[in-house]
């Protein structure tokens, strides 16, 4: 692969991958097993967030091109669903090996387009790869129960694929989130039309090529690029049966309502404001390291970032040490091996983080560490901000809004109960973590807190793929989680068969009209 040290600003990815560009060319679509140029006249520039160099241009795919992608997925469906389960498993086994072999190239594309550090970008790929690895176990996980319910009578469930499905992805995990849907949708026998984020499509294009090399027949996975128009077409197209969405509240609510109004299954993961509860009995060094890592890692652009710390009782005295840790973090290009934080995705994201961080001053809060004025000498045009730590309260903008940047909000509480109440009153319910040495405290917190993912002394408790990703309150719309058993349910519908194979022919000629009770 292209090591970050060997080629610090790797520009030669495009020589190897058919769908991507890194030198101002164009990103292609992947339809019917071909990487095709769009005929559109509308393009979106993708900038290197550390330098503003235009890396590629993303097409606003035309309605005719979109139609062809869905038609391709619809044509591929009957053959793919008839492919044996072992055949689909074999494709997953090859895909996981290919992803592992080409992890560095995918990570390079992510660091280039998205900005996160190369080490973090590899984690992005790895968390997606783990979903593929778990999908390889489909021959066991899709096993259903069967029962003889009466004499000569059996009941069993057939879990059948839905048909054409779609995925609409956010910018912040360019590999992991496409890999929540690609393996789970296809291993269950569905076909897929995937729309990457228009800000960083490169990882999806490389993954599409790897799907092809893994032996996925043409049309099983299609990638179409674009923005709002393509999303609306996905919501409206009658051939698409289900939509997986991950992204912001506004887009997610729109897609959920428009998609479900058209009779589709829609799962939508939305925004977050994840609180860390810092108890005074915590292992202090572990807790502070973990909170700093989860608040500032990926420059705060993770949906599971810990963006609020609720300091309980005497733990508030440790905040000065948190500030000291945050000051040590190095902000620079994600290709720099010393980088802790890369740039934010766009100049607008940077402006927003700066404004929300500063808003505490006018609203009665305090800035304890001010990263707003950070300037990179090496990358003066980059979308960088330094880590900030601010004191705020519910009702202030910096607390109420998802900042999605390296600004940690500190809230004080007197007790575990008060901390839990703060979290449960927040509009979001994605994840939360508690740091304590008490099992009883942790257990009470687990039970009382209304979020999807809970960490006990674990800062970023993203469930491994044998479990499912879930959410609570404003962080989710729809009722099936991503990956794990939830995804098997999302991507299949159940037929429950009750069959009677009498061992002897009937002798009576009188029909019964009563409701059969089978008892």
**By the rule CB under 6 A, 471 interacts with ligand NAD:** yes
**By the rule CB under 6 A, 169 interacts with ligand NAD:** yes
Cα 311 from Cα 315, distance rounded (Å):
5
DSSP H or E run through 205: helix 202-213
- Smaller CB distance to ligand NAD: residue 230 or 322? 230
Name the phi and psi angles at 102, rounded to 5: -110, 20
Cα 486 from Cα 471, distance rounded (Å):
12
Distances (CA, A) of 382 to 236, 268, 300, 306, 370: 38, 31, 16, 24, 18
Distances (CA, A) of 205 to 41, 158, 194, 222: 21, 33, 10, 10
Q: Which of residues 228-247 bind ligand NAD (CB under 6 A)?
A: 228, 231, 246-247
By CB under 6 A, name the one of 106, 475, 487, 491 that touches ligand NAD. 475
Cα 289 from Cα 310, distance rounded (Å):
15
**By the rule CB under 6 A, 198 interacts with ligand NAD:** yes
**By the rule CB under 6 A, 477 interacts with ligand NAD:** no
CA angle 421, 427, 166 (to 5 degrees): 135
Beta carbon of residue 59, minimum distance to ligand NAD (angstroms, whole number)? 13
With b for 16 or more beta-carbon neighbours within 10 A and e for fewer, the 11-32 pattern comes to: bebbeebebbbbeeebbbbbbb
Name the phi and psi angles at 244, rounded to 5: -105, 125
Name the phi and psi angles at 456, rounded to 5: -110, 105
By CB under 6 A, name the one of 128, 163, 174, 271 that touches ligand NAD. 271
Beta carbon of residue 138, minimum distance to ligand NAD (angstroms, whole number)? 23
DSSP 8-state secondary structure symbol assigned to residue 40: -
Q: Which stretch binds ligand NAD (CB under 6 A): 74-82, 162-170, 185-193, 306-314?
A: 162-170
Active site residue 211: no
- Catalytic one of 169, 211, 235, 303: 303
By CB under 6 A, name the one of 76, 164, 168, 175 that touches ligand NAD. 168
Q: Which of residues 275-334 bind ligand NAD (CB under 6 A)?
A: 303
By CB under 6 A, name the one of 31, 251, 279, 410 that touches ligand NAD. 251
**By the rule CB under 6 A, 470 interacts with ligand NAD:** no
Judged by DSSP in three states, 237 sits in: coil
Q: Which of residues 394-453 bind ligand NAD (CB under 6 A)?
A: 402, 404, 430
Distance between alpha carbon 58 and the CA centroid of its chain, in Å?
Answer: 21
Q: Which stretch binds ligand NAD (CB under 6 A): 6-14, 171-179, 216-224, 503-511?
A: 171-179
| Catalytically annotated residues | 303
Binding site for ligand NAD (CB under 6 A): 168-173, 195, 197-198, 227-228, 231, 246-248, 250-251, 254, 269-272, 303, 402, 404, 430, 471, 475
């Amino acid at each position: 692969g292209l090591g970050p040290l060997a080629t610090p600003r790797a520009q030669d990815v495009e020589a190897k991958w058919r769908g991507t560009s890194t030198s101002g060319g164009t990103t292609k679509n992947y339809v019917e097993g071909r990487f095709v140029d769009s005929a559109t006249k509308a393009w979106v520039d993708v900038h290197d967030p550390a330098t503003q160099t235009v890396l590629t241009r993303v097409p606003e795919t035309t309605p005719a091109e979109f139609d062809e992608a869905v038609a391709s997925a619809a044509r591929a469906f009957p053959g793919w669903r008839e492919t044996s389960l072992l055949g689909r498993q074999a494709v997953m086994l090859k895909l996981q090996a290919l992803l592992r072999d080409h992890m560095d190239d995918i990570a390079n594309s992510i660091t280039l387009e998205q900005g996160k550090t190369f080490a973090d970008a590899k984690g992005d790929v790895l968390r997606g790869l783990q979903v593929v690895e778990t999908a390889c176990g489909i021959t066991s996980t899709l096993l259903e129960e069967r029962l003889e319910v009466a004499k000569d009578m059996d009941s069993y469930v057939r879990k059948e694929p839905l048909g054409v499905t779609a995925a609409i992805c956010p910018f912040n995990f360019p590999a992991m989130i496409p890999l929540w849907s690609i393996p789970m949708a296809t291993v269950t026998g569905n076909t897929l039309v995937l729309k990457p984020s228009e800000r960083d499509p490169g990882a999806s294009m490389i993954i599409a090529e790897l799907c092809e090399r893994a032996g996925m027949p043409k049309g099983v996975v299609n990638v179409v690029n674009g923005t709002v128009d393509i999303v609306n077409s996905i919501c409206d197209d009658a051939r698409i049966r289900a939509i997986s969405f991950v992204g912001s509240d506004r887009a997610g609510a729109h897609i959920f309502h428009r998609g479900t109004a058209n009779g589709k299954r829609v799962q939508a993961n939305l925004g977050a404001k994840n609180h860390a509860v810092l108890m005074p009995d915590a292992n202090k060094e572990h807790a502070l390291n973990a909170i700093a890592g989860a608040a500032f890692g990926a420059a705060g652009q993770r949906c599971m970032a810990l963006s609020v710390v609720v300091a309980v009782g005497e733990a508030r005295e440790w905040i000065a040490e948190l500030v000291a840790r945050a000051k040590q973090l190095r902000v620079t290009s994600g290709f720099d091996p010393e980088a802790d934080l890369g740039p934010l995705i766009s100049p607008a994201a940077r402006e927003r983080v700066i404004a929300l961080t500063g808003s505490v001053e006018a609203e009665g809060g305090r800035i304890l560490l001010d990263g707003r004025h950070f300037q990179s000498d090496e990358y003066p045009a980059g979308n960088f901000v330094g880590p900030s730590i601010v004191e705020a309260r519910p009702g202030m903008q910096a607390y109420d809004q998802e900042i999605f940047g390296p600004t940690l909000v500190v809230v004080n509480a007197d007790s575990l109960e008060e901390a839990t109440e703060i979290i449960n009153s927040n509009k979001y319910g994605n994840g939360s973590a508690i740091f304590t040495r008490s099992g009883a405290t942790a257990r009470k917190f687990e039970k009382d807190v209304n979020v999807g993912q809970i960490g006990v002394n674990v800062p970023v408790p993203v469930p491994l793929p044998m479990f499912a990703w879930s959410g609570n309150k404003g962080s989710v719309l729809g009722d099936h989680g991503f990956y794990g058993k939830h995804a098997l349910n999302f991507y299949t519908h159940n037929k429950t068969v009750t069959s009677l194979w009498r061992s002897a022919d009937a002798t009576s000629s009188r029909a019964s009209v009563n409701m059969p009770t089978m008892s």
